[in-house]
Amino acid sequence: MGSQKGLTFIELGISICIISIFASISIATVICRLPQIRLNGAARQIMGDLMWSRSEAVSQGNEFKIFFLNNHQYLILDDDDNDGDIDSGEWTVIKDIQADYSGVTFNPIPTVDPVFQPRGTISACSIGLRNGNDTKSVKISIAGRVKIE
């Protein structure tokens, strides 16, 4: 008689059990890291918006100001007349970090609104972020360099 090929029900059951154990360990690890992943994403979003605002201030030759509206929203202003106020006809956009990164807040809400000058410079400042017990800081140097710490 010929040899049989394939798996028995016992071999198949053991294989499924082993795969299930590895999958549950992987899922638990990802779930535990979700707050940190969201915090990193929010920090990258803010860093990107700040770097974009700086480059636009330089290319357009006018100020770009960031207003912090509450503990998770900020407004970017293309301040064409460089007066620091939102005037009719000036471009603005409101960003909400919790739209994509739930639970992340500014910690504390920044009291100084960063203003990128037409030369790309700014008063040095730091924007703190929190998600549960995890914190990150987005720092802007006086030369306009933005980095995450």
User: Domains along the chain?
Assistant: 10-148 (3.55.40.10)
pLDDT tens, residue order, the chain (149 aa):
566 777 788 988 999 999 999 998 888 888 888 999 999 999 999 999 999 999 999 999 999 999 999 999 999 999 999 998 999 999 999 999 999 999 999 998 888 899 999 999 998 899 999 998 899 999 999 999 999 99
Residue 144 phi, psi (nearest 5): 95, 5
Taking the model in full, what pTM does it have? 0.81
